[in-house]
Chain A
Amino acid sequence: MTWVNAVIQGLLLGGLYALIACGLSLTFGVMRIVNLAHGDLAVCGAYLGLVLSSAAGVPVWYTLPLLLPAAFAAGVGLEVLLFGRALRHGVLAPVLVTFGLSVMIENLLQVAATADPRGLNGGALALGSFHLGSITVSWLFLTTFLTACVVLAGLQLALSRTSWGRKVRATSDDLDTARLVGIKVRPVFASVAGIAIGTAALAGVFIGTIGTFDPLTGTNILIFAFEAVVIGGIGSLWGTLAGGVIMGVTQVVVGEINQAYAVLAVNLVFLAVLTVRPGGLFTSHQTAGEIRGAGIGGALG
């Protein structure tokens, strides 16, 4: 029963990883930017939730109507100020710019909020749990998992059914052709960046409620998000969920044996996937070739 319990807890934890990762997957898929500040922006979301909820004296959930639009606006602002400009300087510039941004955010947070670990007030939801046979399921973890599913399904529906989604997919497939047929690319990029940072902030709120966070947590969040994206495969949102679940289950099951090896096991699963299927487990051939890029190097070198 311990193992069934571990798998279920891991599955629920995987939802959190998928929620962190979907924004990273989206910005890469559409803008071809790997946002190295993604984790730090999630931590910013958690700090904003902390400030708002302690100012109003309410659980952090009530601040979401204010927090999420703010995060969306921040994403749009970053696109206009940094990402869009960086893209004009070639493929290296976005990597360098977002890494510089990450360093700035981490240290600004240290100045503003000190290095003390913090937690968020999750109200009654954070404390409650229910029993499923002999297995205890926390309402908070279940909510996190369901939120991740709703966000991923919503994104998937919006991408496949709406006119906005058609523009995003066209831009993602071929930027120049999208421009030729009259799509205004900058608003598409701005909205994608806004949604990515919005989901990051939402994930940050869940991270802060489930555990603690400090200004330097962002790098670890980035690593987890990145691993979920690569294991699942770029460009596939359901793949990202599967990637997150594989990581969560690995972490909890290995943690059941020895807690010290849990994160190491996740990293090793990631490296193993990289060895066997560098394009991810649930991806098409085309996208796999795009991220590898080095395929030709492998063939000729």
Chain B
Amino acid sequence: MRREEAIGSRDAEPSVTPVAVSRWSRTASAFTGACVVAVAIGVAVPYVIGGPAEQPLITLLTFIAVATLWNLLAGFSGLTSFGQQAYIGVGAYALYLVAEHGINPFGGIIAAAAVAAVVALPVSALVLRLTGGYFAVATLVVAATFQIIATLSPSVGGTTGVAVPGLAGYSDVLREALTYWATLVVAVSSVAGVYLLVRRTFGLDARAVGSDPVGAAASGVRVGRIRLLAYLVAAGGAGAVGALIALQTLYVEPTSAFSIQYSVDMLFMVLIGGMATIEGPIVGALVLFALQETLSAYGAWYLVIVGGLAVVTTLVAPRGLWGLASERFGWSLLPVGYLVRQPRTGTGRRGHDRE
């Protein structure tokens, strides 16, 4: 209190109400603890339950990874790419190529991520010139071009595709367990990586760029650099996911590697869960996983429902399920902003202002 008084007297102004700024909470500590426990249980799954639990969990973890990465791009930085399947495909083919050269396929996941990020660098120079819907369709064109290039390359099997080599030495049980663990590592590092990234100044800058690039540039944010970083991280992550998908299916083929279905899934999960939060894409991944498990027997109707829910959510609840919940109950399990509290005064009121 003494310090505020000192400042107040020097500036000859009434003393400023002192506020406490926090970036963390007890709930956040408890939730992070719960996450650590959940991951530890996740690591033990192949020992305890084995195969039957691994397959659905791999699907769920892949959903969480792609949704979180797309959220970094579209939710935080305002870059709605519908062409992330370009890097999923590049990752899958990169995994095939490194495995072909005798590198361990599981180690090849890192190489696949690196290759995808390197490929994204020249592409970003083209597509980041555009914004909004034009950016969206340009990324779609890039993905379509990559798919054509893959079909025209005999060295990767053209239209028929190629089987992933270098896995003959593993028993089925071990291979599936290793794929599961690798997926767990990619999903956890995507969520943790994006979380730590957006808690830095980058997060604030990215949200400024996403909501108003001109305003952000005027306040000194380096718009181009923020967009580039988000684009490269998302591409690298998509490359790792592509490598994982190749390891699960053991086969890489252009139509499925560059399928636009990946973009449909990403959009749906992030919209339903809530853009520009860390929890939202995870909620969205759980919703899509549940929908897929219950409705996939209905074939095309499942996707009609997915598309319809995406439209309705955008119009009715643009902040998604998690946005609704956190608005209503004040939940914030993984805070990315700043909580500003006024100390309890006579009225005992407490000001909330995240951000």
Q: CB of A267 within 8 A of chain B?
A: yes
In this complex, the member of B140, B271, B311 whose beta carbon has the largest number of chain A beta carbons within 10 angstroms is B311
Complex Cα gap A155–B214 (Å): 33
Is A300 on the interface with B (CB-CB < 8 A)? yes
B223 touches A101 (CB 8 A): no
User: Can you list 30 A-B pairs, Cβ within 8 angstroms, ordered by A?
Assistant: A36-B137, A85-B315, A92-B74, A93-B314, A93-B318, A95-B133, A96-B310, A97-B311, A103-B264, A103-B306, A104-B303, A104-B307, A107-B303, A107-B304, A108-B300, A111-B300, A222-B140, A226-B134, A226-B138, A267-B148, A271-B126, A274-B129, A275-B126, A292-B131, A297-B209, A297-B213, A300-B217, A300-B224, A301-B223, A301-B224
Known: A278-B130, A296-B223. 20 other contacts (CB 8 A): A36-B133, A82-B311, A86-B314, A89-B318, A100-B267, A100-B314, A102-B307, A103-B306, A104-B308, A104-B311, A108-B304, A223-B137, A264-B149, A267-B141, A270-B141, A271-B141, A274-B126, A291-B134, A294-B128, A301-B222
Residue on B with the closest CB to A258?
A: B152
Q: How far is the CA of A110 from the CA of B299 in the complex (A)?
A: 10
A82:B133 contact, CB within 8 angstroms:
no
Residues on A with C-beta less than 8 A from B301 are: 107, 111
Given contacts A89-B318, A94-B133, whether A104 and B304 have CB atoms under 8 Å apart is yes
For A97, give its contact among B228, B306, B315 (CB under 8 Å): B315
The interface bits of chain A over 34-62 (1 if a CB of B lies within 8 angstroms of the residue's CB, else 0) are 10100000000000000000000000000
Q: Is A79 an interface residue (CB 8 A)?
A: no
Task: A55 to B260: give the CA distance in the assembly, Å.
Answer: 34
Judge if A139 is at the interface, Cβ distance under 8 Å. no
A230, B134: Cβ atoms closer than 8 Å:
yes
**Distance to closest chain B CB from A238 (angstroms):** 20
Q: Is B132 an interface residue (CB 8 A)?
A: yes
A222, B263: Cα distance in complex, Å: 16
Distance A243 CA – B310 CA, assembled complex (angstroms): 33
B78 with A110: CB separation less than 8 A: no
Q: Least Cβ distance of A110 to chain B in Å? A: 4
The number of chain A residues touching the other chain, given as a range, is 35 or more
CB-nearest residue of chain A to B310? A100
8 A-B pairs with the lowest CB-CB distances in the bound complex, closest first: A301-B224, A34-B133, A103-B307, A297-B223, A100-B310, A104-B307, A293-B131, A100-B311
Within 8 A of B (CB), among A259-296: 260-261, 263-264, 267-268, 270-271, 274-275, 278, 291-294, 296
Instruction: Tell me the nearest residue of chain B to A92, going by C-beta.
Output: B80
Identify A294's interface contact among B130, B145, B310, CB under 8 A.
Answer: B130
In this complex, what residue of B is CB-closest to A261?
B152
A33 sits at the interface (CB 8 A): yes
Q: Is the interface of B mostly helix, strand, loop or mixed?
A: helix
- Give the interface of A toward B (CB within 8 A): 28, 33-34, 36, 82, 85-86, 89, 91-104, 106-108, 110-111, 219-220, 222-223, 226-227, 230, 260-261, 263-264, 267-268, 270-271, 274-275, 278, 291-294, 296-298, 300-301
Of chain B, the residue at the smallest CB distance from A108 is: B304
A110 to B213 alpha-carbon distance, docked (Å): 40
Pair B228/A301 contact, Cβ less than 8 Å: yes
Is B82 part of the contact surface with A, judged by Cβ < 8 Å? yes
| Closest chain A CB from B71 CB (angstroms) | 13
- The answer to whether A92 and B131 touch across the interface, beta carbons within 8 angstroms, is no
Assess whether B310 is in contact with A99, with CB atoms less than 8 Å apart.
yes
CB <8 Å contact, A223 and B133: no
Residue B136 at the A interface, CB < 8 A? yes
Q: Identify the closest chain A residue to B123 (Cβ).
A: A271
Q: Which residues of B contact A111 (CB under 8 A)?
A: 299-301, 304
B85 to nearest A CB, angstroms?
12
- The answer to whether B145 touches A268, judged by C-beta atoms less than 8 angstroms apart, is yes
- Which of A93, A264, A301 has the most chain B CB atoms closer than 10 A to its own CB? A301
Q: B131 to chain A: which residues have CB within 8 Å?
A: 291-294
CB B86 to nearest CB in A, in angstroms, measures 12
Is B339 interfacial (CB-CB < 8 Å)? Answer: no
Q: How far, in angstroms, from A296 to B217 measured CA to CA in the complex?
A: 7
Check B26 for interface membership: any CB of A closer than 8 A.
no
Q: B183 CB to closest chain A CB, in angstroms? A: 26
Interface string of B314-334 (1 = CB under 8 A from A): 110010000000000000000
Most-contacted residue by chain A among B133, B136, B209, B217 (CB, 10 A): B133
By CB atoms of chain B within 10 A, which of A107, A220, A260, A296 has the most? A107
Contact of B144 with A by CB under 8 A: yes
Q: Are B315 and A223 in contact (CB under 8 A)?
A: no
* Chain B positions within 8 Å of A100 at CB level: 267, 307-311, 314
Q: Which residue of B lies closest to A275 (CB)?
A: B126
Bound-state CA distance A95–B311 (Å) is: 10
Query: Would you call B227 an interface residue if the criterion is a C-beta within 8 Å of the partner chain's C-beta atoms?
Result: yes
A106 to B306 Cα, complex, angstroms: 12
Collect the chain B residues with CB atoms within 8 Å of residue A292's CB: 129-131
